[in-house]
Chain A
Amino acid sequence: MRRGELRARDLVESCLGRTASLDGVLGCFLTLDGDRALERAALIDEELARARRQSAGVGETGAHPSAPAARPDPSAGGHGILAGIPYACKDNMCTRGVTTTCGSRILEGYVPPYDATVVEQLTGTGAILLGKTNMDEFAMGSSGENSAFFPTRNPHDTTRVPGGSSSGSAAAVAAGLVPFALGSDTGGSVRQPASFCGVVGFKPTYGRVSRYGLVAFASSLDQIGPLTLTVADCALVMEVMAGHDPRDATSAQVPVPQYTAVLGRDVRGLRLGVPREYMGEGIEPGVREAVRAALGALADLGCAVEECSLPHTDYALAVYYLVAPAEASSNLARYDGVRYGLRVEGGDITAMYSRTRRRGFGPEVRRRIMLGTYALSAGYYDAYYLKAQKVRTLVRRDFEQAFARYDLLVAPTSPTVAFRLGERTDDPLSMYMADVCTIPVNLAGIPAISIPCGQSEGLPVGLQIMGPPFAEGLILQAAWAFEQATGGAPWRQEVTP
């Protein structure tokens, strides 16, 4: 586009065309904003053409022809590093003037008056929002079936789930509807659908990416992350989104390295730990085999691969399903029919609250609000919520001790490949098990990526690489080396559902 060989408009039209032909089956988008995307593409094309004319003019007045192009100003819209690139955004991030439902009837038709910081950052670098993607209601789910509107399907096999809760974002990237998408990861909601759909999904360190404008689910666990086709794309999007935001009180004031610059650095000598708790019972044999092969490839690259232990892993799921619903029950108290969204009238204000919330929330959200309210209620707080937060400390310490010995930890992203639609909907506990490999990372607040590493039953398997806080660069470096060594992920064939 910068060279004038492709117009942003052509790219947006191509994405819209592919979406028109495939999304009826896949159900990736809740809202498409095609007209505005085309308008913005036309503006960016004009800006890029003007920049080319100016730079040609500068050349004529004496700039050295071999002088490197200046790094584009990331705040300059059409001149930014993502100028003209369409993307999709999970429907739990606020987008000014574009409907944001969080996959819930309670916010049906809600149009936010402001943009989330990440949306502002992407717009500032010239990215074009194509639409908002389907998701499990309020990001509660591991399959994409809990959307109040319709389920999303896996592009590799439409009888299977895409994973969740960033279901629409993962499926849209896998099916080639957009080059990249944003998701949010509270217990694995970026990495697990990335694994099921055969794409790259990154959960940054807690505090690395601003949560301002992200509809809160569990505030001490939520983190926004990109879903992309390649590790290099992931590094590029992370470079735009990472950094301190004064509007988010939990945003970290830690310098952001240039993530694209670390790709290609040698990984020889990296010490990789493989927690045995992630490779044992409950992990499907096909998944284990694909991950073992990936560990072999990393060893061939010169990494020192060694088994290790995270002894409190077995308790992480129980901790998560107390802490996350407790925080959710508090965060979701704001949906009461007063300020936005659905209102169901009642005789008095309490009846109005209760009826609005009954009609507006789906079964999984109601279940988690009940669980969280119970865990926080008088008489149970110490036994459940406080106990869970103490065990969370032990889970976090496991990681701290492991990172004293190893640079990174490597494990499967999910114990299984994508399961069939409807297979687990009647059994909440079995659905919760789908996040067993990703949840500990959120409890500890550390960064982790899922990258495609092979297949089982003809479906994608994800490899999870975890690092210490703020080691995003090292994770991307290792993931990129693996991706290149395995032929740029040969499992990423053209997906035509």
Chain B
Amino acid sequence: MREVEHVAWLARLELTDEEKQVLAGQLGRILEYMEKLKEVDTEGIPPTFHALEGMASPLRQDQPAPGLDPEGALAGAPDRVDDLFRVPRTGEGEEEGA
């Protein structure tokens, strides 16, 4: 249960006590299923992070290109001031369990 609470904090996801209970059970069962991967010998096998390895370079040329105009970028903001997103103050309450 403490683990569920820790992961929920890492994910910035508020959960009720009841949800924590349900999730602890469900995630436990899912992770138990994942244990079957331990059967596979992966000694010397490289991981696949890209589906077509070696095909595409994830880096584009470092050239400026037009982006969204400020009005377009801010149009969906729940709260804004002029050309800025407005958020609650930062710097407090960020410690786990605070």
Contacts and interface: CB of A to CB of B under 8 A. Distances in A.
A490 B16 CA distance: 51
Nearest to B12: A353
Given A341-B76, A352-B88, A357 B14 contact: yes
A392 interface: yes
B49 A252 contact: no
B47 A389 contact: yes
B35 to A, nearest CB: 8
A347 B3 CA distance: 25
Contacts of A367: 23, 26-27
Contacts of A396: 48, 51
B2 interface: no
Contact of B34 (A322, A357, A377): A322
A1 B19 CA distance: 55
Interface in A381-409: 384, 386-394, 396
Contacts of B42: 387, 390-391, 393-394
A488 interface: no
Interface in A345-366: 345-355, 357-358, 361, 366
A273 interface: no
Contact of A394 (B45, B51, B68): B45
Contacts of A314: 36
Given A207-B55, A370-B13, A370-B23, A392 B34 contact: no
Contact of B45 (A114, A317, A390, A442): A390
A251 B88 contact: no
Contact of B27 (A249, A370, A469): A370
Contacts of B46: 390, 393
Interface in B7-63: 7-8, 10-15, 19, 23, 26-27, 29-31, 33-34, 36-40, 42, 45-52, 55-60
Contacts of A369: 11, 13
A185 interface: no
B56 A252 contact: yes
A389 B49 contact: yes
B33 A392 contact: no
Interface string B82-98: 00010111101110000
Kindly state the interface size class of chain A when it binds its partner: 35 or more
B73 interface: yes
B14 to A, nearest CB: 4
A148 to B, nearest CB: 16
A349 B78 contact: no
Contacts, number: 184
Contacts of A206: 51-52
B37 A377 contact: no
Given A341-B76, A347-B88, A390-B42, A354 B51 contact: no
B72 interface: yes
A207 B87 contact: no
Interface stretch (A3-11, A158-166, A331-339): A331-339
A348 B93 contact: yes
Contact of A318 (B15, B27, B33): B33
A444 interface: yes
A336 B56 contact: no
Contacts of B72: 113-114
A340 B94 contact: no
A140 to B, nearest CB: 13
Nearest to B61: A246
Interface in A198-220: 205-207, 220
B87 A429 contact: no
B58 to A, nearest CB: 5
B34 A394 contact: no
A354 B8 CA distance: 9
Contacts of A351: 14, 88, 93
Interface of B: 3-4, 7-8, 10-15, 19, 23, 26-27, 29-31, 33-34, 36-40, 42, 45-52, 55-60, 68, 72-73, 75-79, 85, 87-90, 92-94
Given A358-B14, A367-B27, A445-B52, 5 more contacts: A207-B55, A315-B39, A318-B34, A377-B7, A393-B48
13 contacts: A113-B76, A347-B93, A349-B87, A354-B14, A355-B14, A357-B13, A358-B13, A374-B7, A386-B47, A390-B40, A390-B47, A393-B46, A429-B33
The 8 residue pairs across chains A and B that have the minimum distance between CB atoms: A445-B51, A389-B47, A340-B76, A113-B72, A343-B78, A358-B14, A390-B42, A348-B93
